[in-house]
Amino acid sequence: MIYFDNASTSFPKPECVYKAINGCMTQYGANPGRSWHMMARQINQKLFETRQSIARLFSIDDPYRVVFSFNATEAIKIIYGGLLQTGDHVVVTSMEHKAMLRPLQEMERSGVSYTTVKCTRTGELDIDELRDAIKRNTKLIGMTGISNVTGTVMPIKEVGRICREKGIQFMVDASQAAGVLDIDVQAMNIDLLVASGHKSLYGMQGTGVLYVSPQAKIRPYVGRVPEEEINSWLFYERYEIGTLNAPGLVGLKAGVDFILSETPEKIRMHEQILTRRLIEGLQGIERIVLYGPLSEKKQVGILSLNIKEKTPQEVAELLDKRYKIGVRPGLHCATYAHETIGTGDMGSVRFSMGYFNTIEEVDLAIFALRNIAKS
């Protein structure tokens, strides 16, 4: 199968990831943070090394501030639950994943309010509109790094500057951007960084990452623990509940190390080449409608499209059955993003490319889409 669903989860992973997970499970699969014996010490050490690799990738000073979660959705829940209180206001963009929006809808019940800044039809953010959305009680601005619907690269650095200037916490959902964009939490003034482990970081499903900067004060996720007790804990222990996905996190280190060795620049360049080729190959084909900025400088790895008179589901089924091409049809967990780009009714067919996709695969996709559009 030709896999163009990397924004759901990357596939395949680098070989070193499979090997690391299997090695952990078969050789030192103890429970981290619980016991003291040789295997337990070994897994503790390995997980700390994962924190170190992640810290390196995002220019984080202190690896103890790298917290593990089970996915980005949980990490966002930890932030909202630990940071927001009655009376607080949050600004998000209309390109966010539901993982960013749904907890805010829930928290409206407890007196938290939020504003969704509508992006342009290509999924781009107007910085002035964002500025206008800021209120006296705005505590947090939350934004994705790359839209999971259009691949639009969001202006992290600019928004980070505004946040620092106004004394607002800045949270970035890097689930699509981690390992592809060059994210530097210090240079970009990111207070809270969230990422899936299993997408562009090449780890396994069931892993997520949360960075909490010294400026961000979020309450512990583990529940009510006396202050003197919690002060004696390691920083990350305040936010990690129950047994971690330890083998998965060992695999995540392998994934992040793979990125560090290839470099995010090289990965991004490859994805840009594929994106440009797909865009250029599809532009001008009758009945095919493309979404997003349609420029590989403003859009990485993802292209949403539709074929007139066909539902996204029909197109995806034809791609799957006739051409063995796997894509994702529908609303992609981001209803507002689809409203923004004008596909609120049925969604789109999303091609999401990864580092292991090739030019030949993209050309086959173009060939297949041309045929489907004609039929």
Stretch that binds a copy of itself, among 113-121, 132-140, 240-248, 285-293 (CB under 8 A): 240-248
Taking alpha carbons only, the member of 218, 200, 182 closest to residue 76 is 218
Identify the residue among 158, 265, 317, 363 touching a copy of itself (CB under 8 A). 317
For position 223 contacting a copy of itself by CB under 8 A, the verdict is yes
For position 272 contacting a copy of itself by CB under 8 A, the verdict is no
Tell me the CA distances in angstroms from 261 to 154, 256, 351, one per residue in order: 25, 9, 26
- List, in sequence order, every beta strand (DSSP E) within 119-199: 138-144, 169-173, 192-196
SS3 193: strand
Tell me whether the omega of the peptide bond preceding residue 12 falls within 30 degrees of 0, making it cis: yes
Stretch that binds a copy of itself, among 116-124, 185-193, 222-230, 253-261 (CB under 8 A): 222-230
For position 325 contacting a copy of itself by CB under 8 A, the verdict is yes
Which residues in 13-32 contact a copy of itself (CB under 8 A)? 13, 18, 21-22, 25-26, 29-31
The minimum distance between CB 22 and a copy of itself, in angstroms, equals: 6
Contact 306, 315 (CB under 8 A): yes
Contact 179, 256 (CB under 8 A): yes
For position 64 contacting a copy of itself by CB under 8 A, the verdict is no
Output 270 or 328, the one with its CB closest to a copy of itself: 328
256: phi then psi, degrees, rounded to nearest 5: -70, -40
- What letter would DSSP give residue 30? P
Output 173 or 296, the one with its CB closest to a copy of itself: 173
For position 34 contacting a copy of itself by CB under 8 A, the verdict is yes
314: phi then psi, degrees, rounded to nearest 5: -60, -45
Mark out the alpha helices in the chain (DSSP H runs): 15-27, 38-57, 72-83, 98-107, 127-133, 156-166, 227-230, 246-262, 264-282, 312-323, 335-341, 359-374
For position 44 contacting a copy of itself by CB under 8 A, the verdict is no
Counting residues that bind a copy of itself (by CB under 8 A) gives 67
Identify the residue among 145, 151, 248, 264 touching a copy of itself (CB under 8 A). 248
Contact residues: a copy of itself, CB under 8 A: 1, 3, 5, 8-9, 11-13, 18, 21-22, 25-26, 29-31, 34-40, 70-74, 77, 99, 102-103, 105-106, 108-109, 196, 198, 204-208, 222-225, 241-248, 313, 316-317, 319-320, 324-329, 333
